[in-house]
Amino acid sequence: MPTKTNKSLHVPRFKPLSLAQENAIDLLVTGQTDGEVAAAIGVNRGTVWGWRHEHPIFQAELNRRRLELFNAPQQRLRTLAAKAVENVATAIEAGDLRTSLEVIKGLGLYGAGAFTGPTDPETLLQAQAEAAVSQEEAPLDPMRAVLADPEVRWQRERRAEIVEALRRDYCA
């Protein structure tokens, strides 16, 4: 019995780009403008603009090539990372104060900003309750607008409920 092919599993095969489009991509990834590219390949600037903004195959290939160019230096830096760490370690072990300080700064261990955040659990508990209340939708309350109360009663009541629940979880 013959089987039917599932068209949703079929990967479309796209038409190849023209030589002019391939050349345009080569020039665009070097930073040339639409006008410069158009002049170099013998088309008008609007054609290059159209390829960049409306031609999905061209756009995909241009993006792929840009990503390739962007990733190459990053990959090179990744291969040098082990050597960089070794150089830093050697400098620090030799007593290089400047390198030591830069490492400490880079790790966020230098200065007043090294440790931030509340140290009072109650402050954190209240902040957690406030965040939870702000994510909840307000019940329909026509009087809220009339009262013009910046902190509506349902918010105060809901925050108190959340604080109470949190205290049951975290307080002795």
In a domain, 9, yes or no: no
pLDDT tens figures, 59-101: 999 999 998 888 888 888 888 888 988 998 999 899 999 988 8
Mean pLDDT of 146-164: 76
Which residues lie closer than 8 Å to 154 by C-beta, 6 or more apart?
138, 139, 141
CATH (domain of 35): 1.10.10
Q: At what angle do helices 45-54 and 56-93 cross, to 10 degrees?
A: 80
Q: Is the overall model pTM greater than 0.75, yes or no?
A: no
The total number of structural domains that make up the chain? 2
| Domain extent for 142 | 121-170
In a domain, 102, yes or no: no
In a domain, 38, yes or no: yes
Mean pLDDT of 115-126: 76
In a domain, 32, yes or no: yes
Mean pLDDT of 16-38: 96
Specify the pLDDT at position 48.
98
